Amino acid sequence: MAKHLFSFEPVVCSAISAVIILGAIGCGGGPEPQSPAEAGLKAIYVMYGQYAGQNRGKSPPDVEAFKKFVRSTNAEQLRSLNVNDVESLFISPRDKQPYVIHYNAAVSVPGVGVPAGDSWLAYEETGHGGKKYILLSTGIIEEVDAVRFGEIVQ
């Protein structure tokens, strides 16, 4: 039987992680103004993708495992995501409540789409002014009203 020079799984996971990071960073056109809540959700998206990339495509199983992973991340990388404190990353600056994060979610594969029922990764518990920020599994962050929120989170 032929011996393979490398395993396919790490390559796929690395590619998924790279696409997630590049999508979160964006390209061209200069930076768009972001609220602190959007910046926090963007950092959660990047870290969630890196977790999945380093764990064979599996998302964090719970908040403790996710925080442990974030704490183990290079300090320079965390600074580049404007993360100065791991605990505050998990708290919405608008409603001062922990973000609701979808643990054990199916991670979408670039080019394939979002698995049914797993279209969101995180959202604000209460939000502000009748609207909540929600992080979709595609990396898009939307500020939504109750109707739109109900369409996404069922």
- The one-digit pLDDT tens for each residue of the chain (154 residues) are 444 343 434 444 444 544 454 444 444 444 566 899 999 999 999 999 999 999 988 999 999 999 999 999 999 999 999 999 999 999 999 999 999 999 988 765 554 444 444 589 999 999 999 999 999 988 999 999 999 999 999 8
C-alpha 137/C-alpha 102 separation (Å) is: 10
Question: What single-letter amino acid sits at 49?
Answer: G
Give me the pLDDT at residue 33, please. Answer: 61
Give me the pLDDT at residue 154, please. Answer: 80
Give me the pLDDT at residue 57, please. Answer: 87
User: Which of 36, 44, 35, 25 shows the shortest CA–CA distance to 100?
Assistant: 44
C-alpha 104/C-alpha 117 separation (Å) is: 12
Contact 57, 16 (CB under 8 A): yes
Model-wide pTM > 0.85? no
Give me the pLDDT at residue 34, please. Answer: 83
Give me the pLDDT at residue 32, please. Answer: 62
